[in-house]
Amino acid sequence: MTVRSLAARAPAPVFRALDRLRGSPWPYCVAAFHRIADHPGDELSYPPAIFDALCRYWRDHFEILSLDCLLARLAHGDPARHPCLSITFDDGYADNAEVAAPVLERLDLSATFFLPTSAIGARRHFPWDAGLAPPPRTMSWAQARELHRAGFGVGSHTVTHARLATVRGAKLERELEDSRGRLGMELGEAPQDLAYPFGGPDDCDDTARAAARRAGYRSCFGCHGGLIAVGDSPYRLNRMSISPRYHPSPQAWARAYSRARWRTSARRAPGHW
């Protein structure tokens, strides 16, 4: 009896497991960074030297997809047949433009920067950066325009970095529409993608997702770990936050990715709207 005929007689879960082992497609991975800076012990600051090494590892082992390309593939239901990854940054720190972008350009890697519009070009600091000395700066509008001109993607991270599940009505619409409008005005092109602030599973809800769709966004990204399978709703796309504690080297990241890959393959039904 051949493996094929055995598989055909096997109960469905066994068949699915065999199917996965045989030629399982690769889930898509979207990496999320915040600061690229040396702040030992700070979870949101990824050291520049490791960032450089990780980007080289990705260049050598992954196809790097812009979000345009990733979302087109998802819309067509195209499974990846080899490892694919997209690179994103949240919160609009100046080091994204000054430290990360030159590395990405040197290695010819695409990336998308999600900007909270009221923080761009402002001298104020996020409350969670209060313990860092000196407090990290956000980028200027000139830097945002330069990233866009250089071919990087720019997306919205709302106006005020609001927790979308807690704002309703006109305020929710302003967070989504005004940030899109401001980015469109500053860059000459309205953003199509949204990363919702804080990124946890409870930080965005169906009301906010519906408002994002009405505001014209084609996608909505969270940030609570995990990879993306074909069939996932474009308004429920997850990202893998890159952490100096859990991913202190490309090898450590590769182990975490491998675990996430098998968890994604084992997922039963894809997420839905």
- By CB under 5 A, name the binding residues for Zn ion: 90-91, 197
Task: State the minimum distance, in angstroms, from the CB of residue 23 to Zn ion.
Answer: 37
The H or E element containing residue 36 is strand 35-36
272: left (phi over 0), alpha (psi -120 to 50) or beta: beta
Cβ proximity to Zn ion: between 27 and 222 the closer is 222
Cβ proximity to Zn ion: between 128 and 262 the closer is 128
Cβ proximity to Zn ion: between 137 and 261 the closer is 137
Query: In angstroms, rounded to a whole number, what is the distance separating the alpha carbons of residues 112 and 121?
Result: 18
**What six digits make up the tokens of 41?**
């012990």
Task: State the minimum distance, in angstroms, from the CB of residue 159 to Zn ion.
Answer: 12
Residues 6+ apart with CB under 8 A from 257: 29, 227, 240
Task: State the minimum distance, in angstroms, from the CB of residue 126 to Zn ion.
Answer: 8
Task: State the minimum distance, in angstroms, from the CB of residue 160 to Zn ion.
Answer: 11
B/e letters for 181-213, b = 16+ CB within 10 Å, e = fewer, are: bbbeebbeeebbbbbbbbbeeebbeeebbebbb
Task: State the minimum distance, in angstroms, from the CB of residue 59 to Zn ion.
Answer: 26
Cβ proximity to Zn ion: between 90 and 129 the closer is 90
Task: State the minimum distance, in angstroms, from the CB of residue 127 to Zn ion.
Answer: 12
252: left (phi over 0), alpha (psi -120 to 50) or beta: alpha
What residue number has its CB nearest to Zn ion?
Answer: 90
Query: In angstroms, rounded to a whole number, what is the distance separating the alpha carbons of residues 235 and 240?
Result: 16
* Residue whose tokens read 């080297």: 249
Cβ proximity to Zn ion: between 36 and 229 the closer is 36
Cβ proximity to Zn ion: between 26 and 152 the closer is 152
- By the 8 A CB rule, do 160 and 205 touch? no
